[in-house]
Amino acid sequence: MQSPIFQYAAAVIFGYLCGSIPFGVVLTRLTGAPDLRSVGSGNIGATNVLRTGRKLLAAATLAGDILKGTIAVGVIGLLFGREPALYAAFGALLGHVFPVWLGFRGGKGVATYIGLLLGLALWLALSAFCLIWVAIAAASRYSSLAALTATAATPVVLWWTGSIAEAKLFLVLSALVWLMHRANIARLFSGTEHPIGGA
């Protein structure tokens, strides 16, 4: 029988390796698009892929970044159970924002965060998170503000519904997402943030 320490360590490592797959970079290279890190914001996520003018490629990047989070927690959950899957979730988001393959310079984590929610709290991902994101994005026209608001609300809703362990995990994950959005936050306060559909 495997020890809990082995399970938790394996969960974090597997989650990290899944999360660190840079779909935006891989897909743009395979299709002959410019190096994603030299385009727009230099970010490796779907929003920056969209700046290359390739909508299907951006959609594929978004799907990949979401699914790698869902797969990480799903596989570990099947192998070891619910608690190790929470460790895999932490590893997956850490891998996305600090991928070893790209010198620890990755994305901002929102898509992978959503994928983790899909794997651990499907009802919340499809209801509260999406509703909040859509409402804030429609009202403000700022994708970053919508993401920040939705990630801030997620641990609160989880706690309120009695999912205490998940609430604690997503509090940490939300803090990491906010950290990666610090430049966006500064631009929001200064009024220089790019709106949805803007340059």
Express each pLDDT in 132-160 by its tens digit.
Answer: 999 999 999 898 999 999 999 999 999 99
More confident residue, 75 or 130: 75
Q: Distance between CA 86 and CA 120 in Å, rounded?
A: 8
pLDDT band at 193 (very low <50, low <70, confident <90, very high): confident
pLDDT tens digits, one per residue of 120-132: 988 888 888 889 9
pLDDT at residue number 198 = 57
Continuous segment of H or E residues that includes residue 172? helix 164-180
**pLDDT of 74 over the 90 cut:** yes
Q: Distance between CA 112 and CA 117 in Å, rounded?
A: 9
pLDDT at residue number 2 = 66
pLDDT at residue number 127 = 82
pLDDT band at 57 (very low <50, low <70, confident <90, very high): confident
pTM for the model: 0.92
With CA atoms as reference, report the closest residue to 93 among 74, 108, 76, 75. 108
pLDDT at residue number 39 = 66
Compute the average pLDDT of residues 41-45: 70
CA distances for 49 relative to 23, 33, 160, angstroms? 10, 9, 36
Q: Where do the structural domains in the chain lie, given as residue ranges?
A: 4-190
Q: Distance between CA 73 and CA 64 in Å, rounded?
A: 15
